[in-house]
Amino acid sequence: MIALNEPEATETNWQTCFLRMLPELQGWLRFTFRYLRREAREEAVEEGVVHCLLSYARLFEQGKTASLTPSTLAWYSSRNVKRGRPAVGRMNRRDPLSRYAQLGNRIHVESVHSRWMDMMVEDTRAPVLDQVAAKMDVEAWFATLTRRMRQIAKDLSFGCSTSEVARTHRVTTGRISQLRRSLEMSWDLFQQEASPRT
């Protein structure tokens, strides 16, 4: 009887080989990007996985996947992510929102959420005293809300749609509509209590 050698990975199962490697790849990438904030870390890991997939596919076409390890693949893909090289699309050095441009030109994009209170009550047409009073009132009202309600109110104040806020907080759009009405009533009640009585 003649023993047949096992065929190398075919086009139909190279994806299976990659999927077997995927949990270890993700572990290496999470470790590499552990110093980033949660959202940035998740984004970096996802970008790294795409880099790994494309590299694996290229190496498979060249017949070089036999000696490939997940740690090596993760190391090279993490270098690309750290340099701001997108897995797909072009690297645009002139787009300030492009990570490649931010790293190359030392651009720092500030998150809106760090100055959310100032932006929410900012109105250049209002007198300075009214702006300060509005900011103090909103901060005092927010202090009366639960942490979750503060976050929902903040998201709604930035103009996020009901469905976006519902997805973020994992509730139905109907529930967000109810909470919006509840917040409106809470604000009205707060204003009545805060206003000086004559």
CB-based contacts of 182, cutoff 8 Å, min separation 6: none
Among 105, 121, 151, the domain boundary falls at: 105
pLDDT confidence of residue 87: 65
Q: Are residues 119 and 97 in the same domain?
A: no
Structural domain tally of the chain? 2
Conformational region of residue 89, where left means phi above 0, alpha means psi within -120 to 50, and beta covers everything else: left
- Rounded to two decimals, the pTM is 0.44
Question: Do the domain assignments include residue 93?
Answer: yes
CB-based contacts of 84, cutoff 8 Å, min separation 6: 91, 98, 99, 100, 101, 102, 103, 104
Across the chain, which distance is largest between two alpha carbons, in Å? 105
pLDDT confidence of residue 47: 85
Question: Do the domain assignments include residue 33?
Answer: yes
pLDDT confidence of residue 36: 80
Strand ranges for the chain from DSSP E? none
Is residue 8 a contact partner of residue 17, using CB atoms and an 8 Å limit?
no
Angle value at C-alpha 88, between 83 and 91, nearest 5 degrees: 50
pLDDT confidence of residue 129: 77
Among 105, 127, 142, the domain boundary falls at: 105
Q: pLDDT tens digits, the chain, 198 residues: what are they?
A: 334 344 444 445 778 888 888 889 888 898 988 888 887 788 888 888 888 888 888 888 888 887 788 888 888 888 888 777 666 656 555 555 555 556 555 655 555 555 555 555 555 666 777 777 777 888 888 888 888 888 888 888 777 778 888 888 888 888 888 888 898 888 888 888 766 554
CB-based contacts of 183, cutoff 8 Å, min separation 6: 145, 149, 152, 153, 156
In whole angstroms, give the CA distance from residue 130 to residue 173: 34
Q: Are residues 72 and 129 in the same domain?
A: no
pLDDT confidence of residue 119: 59
Question: Do the domain assignments include residue 1?
Answer: no
Question: Do the domain assignments include residue 9?
Answer: no
Gap between the terminal Cα atoms of the chain: 105
Q: Are residues 90 and 146 in the same domain?
A: no
Residue 148's domain spans which residues? 112-194
**Considering just the CA atoms, what is the radius of gyration of the chain in Å?**
26
Q: Are residues 93 and 144 in the same domain?
A: no
